[in-house]
Structure 1
Amino acid sequence: MPKKIGVLNLQGAVREHILSLKKLGADAVAVKKANDFDDLDGLIIPGGESTAIGRLIREHQLEDRLRAFHQEGKAIFGTCAGLILCSTDASHPTEDLRLGFIDMEVERNGFGRQVDSFEMLLDFKGIDHPVESVFIRAPYIKSVGPAVSILSELEGKIVAAEQDNVLVTAYHPELTDDMSVLEYFLNKAG
């Protein structure tokens, strides 16, 4: 039976994630309401703009449901803006939402602005080949807590990590033909 993976459908690269997940044989669905979380094996919080996504999470009254989903031990994958939203980072303005799913401090737009976007191959712990990585106004992880495993670094900056059921990448695996990071997440989802 294929794994049912939700993609938070408020803003950002929703369609691209759904198409990539379907290529891997997952049952991928858009998630916009609290009852959309029912029966999911995992959830992706996609890239986009973290402040806008956080505001929309609150407007759609999904914050409590997201936290409950995390408490249930379900797999969560935050890409780019999703990485920022999953952090515990306390160095942000109080109006910005941080879900606190992974013990880390982040630097928003850490690799520059939109014009500074780039692609490259990166080593990823647990994947036996370098993975295609697309960085678009990407954050990076400045520091992690003791329970966090670092999976990938670029020039000394952490760009992929995991803690328990939560995986995060600073880049967009859904924008490449390399499905290995999404496969890694599907394995986390049971």
Structure 2
Amino acid sequence: MKIAVLAVQGAFIEHEKKLEALGAECFELRQKKDLDTEFDGLVLPGGESTVQGKLLRELDMFDALKERIESGMPVLGTCAGLILLADQLTNDGHVYFGTLPVSVRRNAYGRQLGSFRTVQEFAGIGEVPMTFIRAPYIEEAKAGTQVLAEVDGHIVAVRSKNQFGMSFHPELDADNRIHELFLKTVEA
């Protein structure tokens, strides 16, 4: 199983290390020719969503990735990756891939000083550690979207068909169960 990790900006190496430790083969998407490599799943990491969206267009990778997501390729979007997937941003006029039926508030927990860690229930897994860094949250999960986790009444993880979107950074904690869930989805 081969997982492509968007590596134009942001926290991608941590995802790669975790997925490789779980037995997946990873490679980095850095330029358009990388899309010629066959892959089974996609990770959109945390970082700066505006920069990632801009670079995806400048590098002519945006449309091809959107098409793969819409065609059912499993994708894990964390923090900025969630923003890239969302079909609506409530405090920003931009929409990037727009494939995940959720309304997301960017930087909902404030600036860097608003970063925090918690342990909360994650549907089907149990309690998991969650690290939030300048994180968004999901204001609305629309039809067909399953809420997987909430923190203080705010939705922080969802699934819609092949897409997982999370406000937090599961790659920064020792718990592997979220990445295992993603890999099981890819395998299926």
Q: TM-score range by the shorter chain?
A: over 0.9
Contact 2:4–2:26 (8 Å) recurs in 1: yes
Contact 1:55–1:97 (8 Å) recurs in 2: no
Instruction: Map Cα deviations across residues 82-123 of structure 1 (whole Å, 9 max, x no partner).
Output: 0011000054545x3421111111111111210111111111
Counterpart check, 1:183 vs 2:180: yes
Alignment partner of 2:15 out of 14, 17, 20: 17
One-letter identity of the residue aligned with 2:99: F
| Structure 2 gap segments, 5+ residues each | none
Contact 1:87–1:102 (8 Å) recurs in 2: yes
Instruction: Report the Cα distance in structure 2 between the residues aligned to 1:82 and 1:145, rounded to whole angstroms.
Output: 18
Alignment partner of 2:136 out of 136, 139, 147: 139
Query: Alpha-carbon deviation of 1:35?
Result: 4.0
Instruction: Report the Cα distance in structure 1 between the residues aligned to 2:91 and 2:65, rounded to whole angstroms.
Output: 20
Question: What residue number does 2:41 align with?
Answer: 42
Query: Alpha-carbon deviation of 1:6?
Result: 0.8
Question: What residue number does 2:171 align with?
Answer: 174
Report how many aligned residue pairs link the two structures.
Answer: 186
User: Greater strand percent: which structure?
Assistant: 2
Question: What residue number does 2:88 align with?
Answer: 89
Q: CA RMSD in A?
A: 1.3
Counterpart check, 1:156 vs 2:153: yes
SS of the equivalent of 2:52 reads helix
One-letter identity of the residue aligned with 2:100: I
Query: Alpha-carbon deviation of 1:47?
Result: 0.3
One-letter identity of the residue aligned with 2:111: R
With normalisation by structure 2, the TM-score equals 0.94
Question: What residue number does 2:66 align with?
Answer: 67
SS of the equivalent of 1:74 reads coil
Contact 2:120–2:151 (8 Å) recurs in 1: yes
Deviates more, 1:26-35 or 1:57-66: 26-35
| Structure 1 gap segments, 5+ residues each | none
Question: What residue number does 1:115 align with?
Answer: 113
SS of the equivalent of 1:138 reads coil
User: How many percent identity over aligned positions?
Assistant: 39
